[in-house]
């Protein structure tokens, strides 16, 4: 299934556009495009060289979508290279998992209003295959959650059988296993999304998930430390405390295994 554009407002008329975005891109005068390196938040939070400016902008975008801050969503979008618009759309689409459809739809409408590069969008044909989603979702869930994934599935099923199906087949299979954005980036934008929503259990889980998906400790620190830019000082202190607790538990066997694999 190709990308389907929502209704977007251009001047005084509404445009309903299907498929990949050429009509939208041509019909609007786009604001000035900036390089990722020019994003003003990059200088506010330290980050290792491995955490590329474009990747950091994607984490800013995810957090601003989740917080409903459309002006900052617009600014983030204008600091994404046009060839990375497909990744940006994936990050916004992914936000519905943790921030809900209304904020996801509002953010999607804003970026289509700003303009989508036809070169930057890779049309992705989705095969409607629940069995494949279930298989991919099980694999991705195990990658993110490690040894506790099987127990989590049982807990989800106990709470409600449909919850297990939705989380495994839809969220981790249909959504997070899509190829446009790798799991390393998906986990970083997930962490940026949950970090300010007073979700300590999920924040802890996705700090660990980041490490399991190849994110470095320094990259996690950067994502955590930018929380205050979107969510405020109270949220920042909360997630820093969670992060510090995780780092203090260096004896944790999964963390130790990860560190050993780096050597």
For the stretch 224-237, pLDDT in tens is: 999 999 999 999 99
Q: What is the mean pLDDT of residues 235-242?
A: 97
Tokens of 79: 């600091």
Measured CA to CA, the distance from residue 149 to residue 58 in angstroms comes to: 27
The pTM assigned to this predicted structure is 0.85
Q: Which residues have C-beta within 8 Å of that of residue 242, sequence separation ≥ 6?
A: 200, 203, 204, 207
Q: Is the pLDDT of residue 37 over 60?
A: yes
Task: Bin 214: left if φ > 0, else alpha if -120 < ψ < 50, else beta.
Answer: left
Whether residue 151 contacts residue 166, with contact meaning beta carbons closer than 8 Å, is answered with: no
- Phi, psi for 91 (deg, rounded to 5): -65, -40
Taken in order 239, 242, 247, 248, the sign of the CA dihedral is positive
pLDDT of residue 255: 55
The strand pair at 13-15 and 8-10 is best described as antiparallel
Q: Is the pLDDT of residue 16 over 80?
A: no
pLDDT of residue 170: 96
How high does pLDDT run on average in the chain? 86
Tokens of 68: 């409903």
Least confident of 26-30, 109-113, 130-134, 198-202: 26-30
pLDDT of residue 31: 73
Q: What is the mean pLDDT of residues 12-26?
A: 38
Task: Bin 32: left if φ > 0, else alpha if -120 < ψ < 50, else beta.
Answer: beta
Q: What is the mean pLDDT of residues 164-176?
A: 96
What confidence tier does 127 reach under pLDDT thresholds 50, 70, 90? Answer: confident
Measured CA to CA, the distance from residue 97 to residue 222 in angstroms comes to: 23
User: Residue 56: which H helix or E strand, with range?
Assistant: helix 53-67
pLDDT of residue 15: 30
* Closest by Cα among 118, 116, 119, 127 to 92: 116
Helices 53-67 and 183-194: crossing angle, nearest 10°? 40
- Phi, psi for 15 (deg, rounded to 5): -115, 125
CA distances (Å), origin 215, targets 131, 187, 210: 29, 8, 5
């Amino acid at each position: 299934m190709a990308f389907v554009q929502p209704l977007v407002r251009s001047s005084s008329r509404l445009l309903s556009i299907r498929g990949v975005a050429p009509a939208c891109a041509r019909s609007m005068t786009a604001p000035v495009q900036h390089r990722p390196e020019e994003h003003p938040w990059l200088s506010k939070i330290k980050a290792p060289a491995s955490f590329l400016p474009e990747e950091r902008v994607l984490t800013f975008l995810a957090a601003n979508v989740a917080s409903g801050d459309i002006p900052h969503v617009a600014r983030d979008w204008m600091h994404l290279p046009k060839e990375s618009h497909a990744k940006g759309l994936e990050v916004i689409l992914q936000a519905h998992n943790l921030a809900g459809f209304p904020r996801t739809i509002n953010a999607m409408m804003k970026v289509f209003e700003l303009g989508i590069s036809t070169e930057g969008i890779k049309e992705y044909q989705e095969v409607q295959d629940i069995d494949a989603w279930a298989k991919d979702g099980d694999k991705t869930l195990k990658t993110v959650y490690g040894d506790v994934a099987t127990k989590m599935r049982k807990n989800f099923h106990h709470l409600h059988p449909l919850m297990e199906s939705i989380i495994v087949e839809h969220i981790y299979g249909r959504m997070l296993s899509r190829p446009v954005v790798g799991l390393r980036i998906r986990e970083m934008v997930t962490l940026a999304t949950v970090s300010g929503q007073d979700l300590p259990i999920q924040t802890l889980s996705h700090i660990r998930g980041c490490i399991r998906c190849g994110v470095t400790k320094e990259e996690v620190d950067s994502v955590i430390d930018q929380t205050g830019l979107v969510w405020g000082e109270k949220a920042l202190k909360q997630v820093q405390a969670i992060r510090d607790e995780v780092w203090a538990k260096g004896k944790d066997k999964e963390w130790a295994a990860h560190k050993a694999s780096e050597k």
